[in-house]
Amino acid sequence: MYRHRSKETVLILIFAIVVIASGADLLADLSQGADTEHMIKEAIIVSLSILAIAWLMWGLHQQRLEIRSLQQELETANRSQTHPKKYVLEARKKLGNVVSQQFSEWLLTGSEIEVGWLLLKGLSLKEIALVRNTQEKTVRQQASSIYKKAGVSGRHAFSAWFIEDIL
């Protein structure tokens, strides 16, 4: 997401430069009595650039709201959990060790390991992208790579690989 935000910020700056340059040219043309057709074209460029800036800023705002919502949801989930019994904690620890060992045997990269854990925790690809500050396309590619290395067909088979014989 960080890279995505940077691209949007650069686009906002580019459109702002277009607005300033075209706006200044439009004002100069007004004072020199340029023809109407040229003035309309300049005004359209300025207007479209302003709309593009507004649209990009709205998108950034929506992303911030979604990230904030996910963070609050995670905090709420962490606070509301009752403390599990000792045997549950031990089982979780053992399962965590098994998952970590299997990730090593599959030769997952650091990013794939992080995505793998988040997949097992039930986050969607979009949520994983938000949590990891990356694009959803990147997460999708990493998930596909994980499934290929694990020799499974997809997300459900990946999760089932770890719990199939337990249940």
pLDDT digits (tens, 9 = 90+) for 104-143: 999 999 999 999 999 999 899 989 998 888 899 999 999 9
Determine the Cα–Cα distance for residues 91 and 77; give it in Å rounded to an integer: 20
Residues 154, 99 share a domain: yes
Q: pLDDT tens-digit profile of 43-99?
A: 999 999 999 999 999 988 988 898 888 888 888 877 766 777 888 888 888 888 989
User: Which domain, by its residues, includes 69?
Assistant: 2-80
Residues 71, 104 share a domain: no
161, 152 contact by CB (below 8 A): yes
This prediction has a pTM of: 0.53
Residues 6+ apart with CB under 8 A from 45: 18, 22
> Last residue of some domain: 19, 47, 80?
80
